[in-house]
Structure 1
């Protein structure tokens, strides 16, 4: 695209005003004004022709692959012409997850490898933020026209939840089951994996006695077991319409992702395998099972891909797809929400089949708003109506929770401020109770 610059506009104005006055005073001398216009158009044509060079233009964007919510980062813009040095201006396009600090464009500073420009941005919301377009423009030799190009870009930045505080809580919870030298306990005496033989002590169960080895050694020996460290943990996060409603100013799905990352950090530290599954009307995100603390970054990156949705959740499709992917018994932690038994009916049918093979834990946030309305002292008939409606919704919610427990699923309701720690404590209880 080529368009006149401000200098060309002012040049036209400067020439047009005297030409108009001359033509008004001396109508027979109107042609000098026409000559000025022709001369200006000729300069514009030369400027446009001399300023072309899009074929030799190259540009790129460089940004960090990931950043935490609320964090700031620098986007580096680089552009150059092959064998030419020209003054360039740039502007980038970004989505609503990012906020510019000091603007989205500017003049590129000249360097030995072309022009560069540093732009500062702040991450506002979790997800995959993108820079999809780059505008570049440069003036002609006379500065009368701008040559502008729009280049498509595909630069993405994963905006991750801030898990620094969650990691501190996770380390605190891990320290509760650690030895004085800092190594994690193996929790001998529980689980199904054989650990060692030891002398039988009064009070031990008879089923722990190893009769063959006891006969060989001439004394009673008991088998000691430990909890398995290769359990499969699946974090299934519902990102449908209900989960995108805010709780205390933060969407429920964001709080669920933070709690899931905390539990993933604990599980990977404990030697278990962790996978992430996101869904709304259909499955959206599915990561393979990973193991080891170093794999936590992979779970973080995939968690950023769980986007906000306005669609109704299809539990039948999501949980059926998830069950088909699992080839061994797993702990499936489902982060979701529901309103009444009617909307949860299809979910209940699918859960019944899932609990036949897997251990299912539903993680839900307490509805603080409904509880507040139900407990509010009525001051008007409208307050009474609101309290009655809120109480009815809470009772229907408890009906669904009761049916889930009858189907064999575990249900955990927690305050949104304690969602992560409450989930970790329940996970450790299930693991120590040999239920995985």
Structure 2
């Protein structure tokens, strides 16, 4: 496609009043107006014929078939031509709103020296994108254009890409935090100390060393062996751990450009990886208006892909969560005491009342841990210095909502449930630390 640029329009408009004034002063020079138009048309034809032709371009678009939500990935665009290409070209990319706000991304491509010894015949650009939501993201088409040598016409071509990127739960926390927790040196050092010596399950007798807990001394065994012996304990294994994810309306809202439910899924996958490494039985449960999925209890690391697939199926629901139905269903499926780690969100005491009642019934038999994100937006509104009456109103409303939030947390804690509030970027690490603390304390 070839069409005039803004420069052409301005030149045409600038010539009209000059031709009119000349015609009024010298009527015999009326021919100047059509001559000016003919001159511009000739220049347009020359500008369109000379220079690189976009029809000769061949586009190569490379991108991964699957990425984690929130993880950056590269989209490599390369356009080659048998003839020289301009030094710079403008591009517009039509793609899914998961990858760009509004479904459109504008950028530029530059000529790349391909080592041919002459003018460059390749245009290239690498775009760094990140998916904001899970699902199938379509990369639809690329439009590329540049101006002719005179800058009077745009030469444009549209390439259909029709490629899809599968956006799945991010495993970045698993690969980074998981490898750090279970790196080889740590396994025989720090991790071994956590597994042995800090739990409640009896392991063995060992000679007492300075720094050991004096309450662990076995006085009867010490008398028989005529030396101080202390009992060593290990962290209990084969515990049942349920990772429950609320996928309702409040969890679908974004925090830091990523929905809460996606952050919860990433944190749950890291917890699942750690739990499988510690030989616990891990299962995944999700719900919104009704229970969505409940996986079997896995206890081997080779079962982690099954948990990942189940987490990928957790959809965004724009309905209120039914905690009564979900937690009652979950409690009916558990035939032994379990640790239930619930990723959820609550905004006020009224809407959280049903959740508190359902949690009260569940906590009588199981250990319940709530993981919620800190509402940093509300906290910033409360701390911000007011400059108008509207600012004072917003600050008071934010303070009231934060008080209701703390009231809900206090009621849950009085029931016997554990509640941790973590920043968005530290959700996975905070949940893992709470889980390890429960295991080390032997309070499951």
RMSD: 3.5
Residue of structure 2 equivalent to 1:209: 218
Match of 2:306 among 298, 307, 315: 298
Match of 1:354 among 362, 366, 376: 362
Aligned counterparts of 1:242 and 1:168: Cα–Cα separation in 2: 28
Residue of structure 2 equivalent to 1:383: 391
Residue 259 (structure 1) shift = 1.1
Mark the CA change 1:376 to 1:206 in structure 2 (over 3 Å): closer, same or farther.
closer
Matched-pair contact (CA < 8 Å) for 2:340–2:366:
yes
Mark the CA change 1:204 to 1:399 in structure 2 (over 3 Å): closer, same or farther.
closer
Query: Given the alignment of the two structures, is residue 192 of structure 1 paired with residue 172 of structure 2, yes or no?
Result: no
Residue of structure 1 equivalent to 2:411: 403
Residue 229 (structure 1) shift = 2.1
Residue 224 (structure 1) shift = 2.7
Residue of structure 2 equivalent to 1:374: 382
Aligned counterparts of 1:130 and 1:371: Cα–Cα separation in 2: 34
Mark the CA change 1:177 to 1:346 in structure 2 (over 3 Å): closer, same or farther.
farther
Aligned counterparts of 2:338 and 2:319: Cα–Cα separation in 1: 28
Query: Given the alignment of the two structures, is residue 283 of structure 1 paired with residue 330 of structure 2, yes or no?
Result: no
Residue 405 (structure 1) shift = 0.4
The number of aligned residues is 308
Aligned counterparts of 2:352 and 2:215: Cα–Cα separation in 1: 46
Deviations 1:244-292 (A, max 9, x none): 1111111111111111111111111222121111100100011111112
Match of 2:267 among 259, 265, 279: 259
- 3-state SS of paired residue (1:264): helix
Unaligned runs of 5+ in 1: 1-63, 74-93, 102-121, 132-155
Unaligned runs of 5+ in 2: 1-63, 76-94, 105-128, 139-163
Aligned counterparts of 2:279 and 2:438: Cα–Cα separation in 1: 15
- 3-state SS of paired residue (2:271): helix
Residue of structure 1 equivalent to 2:241: 233
| Equivalence map 1:309-348=2 (5 Å) | 309-348=317-356
| Equivalence map 1:117-128=2 (5 Å) | 124=131, 126-127=133-134
Deviations 1:32-58 (A, max 9, x none): xxxxxxxxxxxxxxxxxxxxxxxxxxx
Mark the CA change 1:277 to 1:71 in structure 2 (over 3 Å): closer, same or farther.
farther
Matched-pair contact (CA < 8 Å) for 2:173–2:267:
no
Normalised by the length of structure 2, the TM-score is 0.61
Matched-pair contact (CA < 8 Å) for 1:239–1:307:
yes
Normalised by the length of structure 1, the TM-score is 0.62
